[in-house]
A and B are shown apart, each in its own frame.
Chain A
Amino acid sequence: MQAKFAPVFGLLLPALVFLPLLAFLPFEIHGGGWGLIANFFGAALRPSLTPSLLASACSGIAITLAVALWSWLLSLVIGIGAGLLSAPTVSEAFWGCRWPADLLRRLLALPRSLHELLWGLILLQGLGLQPVVAVVAIAIPYGALVARVVSDQLESLPQAPFQALRVAGAPSPAALLTGLGPSLLPGVLSYGGYRLECALRSATLLGVFGLGGVGADLRLSLQSLQFHEAWTSLWALALVMFLLEQGIALLRRRWWQPGAVVGQRGRELLLLFVVLLLLLFPAAQLLDLQWQVLLGPWHWPMDQQIFQWQAWWLPWPQLVGSTLLLTVIAALAAFAAAPLLLLLFSPWALMQPLLRGLGLIARLLPPPLTALLLLFVLKPGLLPAALALAFHNAGILGRLFLEGLEAQDPRPEQALLAAGVSSRKALLMARFNGLAAGYLAYGAYRADVILRETVVVGLVGAGGLGVVLLEALSSFAWADVLPVLVVYALLTLFGEELATRYRSFLLHKHPQKEGGAPTRLQLLAKPMLERA
């Protein structure tokens, strides 16, 4: 008989990556530094509470929040605009052909392919240390990502209401707004909320690389081993992130109530929009945003040739190979962590809040800082980099996994429990199985994000394209930057295509149940390039 894999099998298989990781770990420990790690965790309970430090932590958080808010709103404006323009439905309605939309979609792949850190470093070279650099660096790739999601969502909606309005003589913009707008809104709102959380994480990360805010404070505190000070910032950041996540979850639930009518939702949205606008002014003042610097002059080093043949001779197989290896290890470990931990600890009720807390720490600690901490006990190389990336992404994946689990139909699990099956086995067979396809699909997307993120852990000697790129950028060697940038972009675009095809295949094989509020996992797992 032909073997049939249960979906949950694909969810457990990646956990095998922990076997080689655990096997190699003892050889990668350099012997010292355990005291430092103990001090770091010990300091969590005694953060520094001196008034000057508290004030500095608050100011750092305020700057990071301001960068996150501005970059997020800018990315939404760019993303929704570009998303509408790159949707074939819109293109056909306005211009009678779809090629302008197709062309724009292809062009938008380029800004999306580079991590915000790379955009930050490129803009930093051209504009100098300006607050606007961090905002624009996040807004560019985020805008392109939002555009893709908006246009994909628009295309996957049933077109019949829009066509009916058009046939009834409604002008195209009105038909689009009325026929597709209300169906598009929940998805865009949910995704928009998710992007705000991402923007906060990215703004913290850019701070680590010198662009100000709480990330810069954290790096300084950790490098000077002032762990009590680091924890002041970390706890403050944790509080902000927790409040933000809860607030967004609350709005999501409220706006997705089956009874919520468009008018009521619209009024609340408008109110939120006004509040956000009012927040933008103090945020701009705090950052001292000077948009005019974007108009120039840009300080590109014009004295050197940007294209030099010899710069293209690099050990590509080794560079690409180690980038991919880092991605695969980090992605598998991040993917498997949440299901594995949950399965191991499910019988103990206290473990779930503990895991949630650990996930929050994982999400708020930028991977380069985790890597830095790991260097206290591990030798520099691929392992600390992979573990740091895995830890951060496990926090993000874990949260969506738990959210998805809670939204699962509890009845199959209850049936197994009532038949005397242990809670672990029931969890595995019922809830995990129900969630597996969606989680795998999202995991594919996350692997694609991790591939882009490999660049941020370059500093711990992980090797790969990221290190070469960062070195070339910081030494202003533009001729060296170009080939690595091109290969890196090609690799991430290839990764994106692969992930999209895999997601499409998975969701085609295991269609997600319709009805009720889709979980964020379902929404994010939707193949972004899938055509209706």
Chain B
Amino acid sequence: MILELKGIVVPGRQRPRLNNLNLQLNRGERVALLGASGAGKSTLLAVANGLIKPACGAVYWFGEKASSGKRRQRQQARIGTLWQDLRLVEELSVQQSLNCGRLAVWPWPLVLLNLFLPLETNACAKVLSEVELDPDLLAVPVKQLSGGQRQRVALARLLRQGAELLLADEPLAQLDPPLAARLLELLLQLGAAPRSLLLSLHRPDLVQGFDRVIGLRNGELLFDGNPKSLSAELINDLYAQN
């Protein structure tokens, strides 16, 4: 099992952001996470990548309990997150940004060399082409890229990281329909075995390519099953006001 959440509770201001949540994700599974705004999708992803430590419950990564210190870092290095706001370091070039994916495993001399030398150009060009970007972009500063290019660079960074579990927080939210469809196709392709994918979405019509759909409502699991079994009634329930 690649990810297991057991009895997760994350407190919130008015009600828990996640309430006694249980989830299992197997290797090769591609799972869509549905829910209205504030349902707890981003919180779930933040627990899954270790950014938030839950008040109660346990997180298991790759069959091991989430640890602390160096061991935790090694576990986290196997999880890649495509953040909604991308969180790229604007001041770096594309190549340096891609190599940020290797920081967890690189020794310090390489970390420092990356600041002024183009390192591992072939590997960087390869991941860039995997996300359908021109390798000529390697030397371009991140801040000069368009929105769509930045998103792909962020995705390529996860590939460079060698992440086995891909988490994506509403990656399609700000893209126009054709671009969103192409990116989703790419994510589904990259998230296939041996990797796994957990992706939050706000549009139920896009879940068809996934192996599983999870519905969250008010921090609790409302639905977990096959995309085909997602009925209009369930969707209404999912997006109903409290």
Contact = CB atoms under 8 A, between A and B. Distances in A.
Contacts of B76: 417-420
A213 interface: no
Contact of B96 (A6, A418, A419, A425): A6
Contact of B91 (A1, A425, A436): A436
A421 B104 contact: yes
A106 interface: no
A418 to B, nearest CB: 4
B103 A3 contact: no
A430 interface: yes
A12 B196 CA distance: 39
Interface string A375-417: 0000000000000000000000000000000000001101111
Contacts of A433: 89, 91-92
B50 A418 contact: yes
A422 interface: yes
Interface string A2-32: 1111111100100000000000000000000
Q: Which of A411, A421, A436 has the most CB of B within 10 A?
A: A421
A434 interface: yes
B81 interface: yes
A429 interface: yes
B1 interface: no
A412 B118 contact: no
B138 A415 contact: no
Given A2-B139, A419-B104, A420-B78, A429 B87 contact: no
A498 B150 CA distance: 36
A421 B93 contact: no
B134 interface: no
A419 B51 contact: no
B150 to A, nearest CB: 12
A440 to B, nearest CB: 12
Contact of B79 (A420, A429, A436): A420
B73 A420 contact: yes
Contact of B101 (A2, A411, A418, A419): A419
Given A1-B118, A1-B138, A420-B77, A415 B87 contact: yes
Contacts of B70: 422
A407 to B, nearest CB: 15
A420 B104 contact: yes
B85 interface: yes
A126 to B, nearest CB: 51
B75 to A, nearest CB: 7
A519 to B, nearest CB: 16
Given A419-B80, A428-B111, A412 B87 contact: yes
B19 interface: no
Contacts of B104: 419-422, 425
B32 to A, nearest CB: 21
Describe A's contact surface by its main secondary structure: helix
A419 B154 CA distance: 12
Contacts of B92: 6, 429, 433
A508 interface: no
A510 interface: yes
A437 interface: yes
Nearest to B154: A415
Q: Which of A7, A426, A430 has the most CB of B within 10 A?
A: A430
A412 B89 CA distance: 6
B115 A9 contact: yes
A411 B83 contact: yes
Interface in B5-63: 46, 49-51
A415 B75 contact: no
A415 B154 CA distance: 11
Interface string B136-155: 00110100000000000000
Interface of A: 1-9, 12, 411-412, 414-422, 425-426, 428-430, 433-434, 436-437, 510
Q: Which 10 A-B pairs have the closest CB atoms?
A: A420-B77, A420-B76, A415-B87, A420-B104, A6-B115, A9-B115, A421-B103, A420-B73, A433-B91, A411-B87
27 contacts: A2-B118, A4-B139, A4-B141, A5-B116, A6-B93, A6-B96, A6-B116, A415-B81, A415-B87, A417-B51, A418-B46, A418-B76, A418-B81, A419-B49, A419-B77, A419-B79, A419-B80, A419-B81, A419-B103, A419-B161, A419-B163, A420-B74, A420-B79, A425-B104, A429-B92, A430-B89, A434-B91
Given A1-B118, A419-B81, A425-B104, 19 more contacts: A1-B138, A3-B117, A4-B141, A5-B115, A7-B91, A412-B88, A417-B51, A418-B50, A420-B73, A422-B70, A425-B111, A426-B103, A428-B111, A429-B92, A429-B103, A429-B111, A434-B89, A434-B91, A436-B91
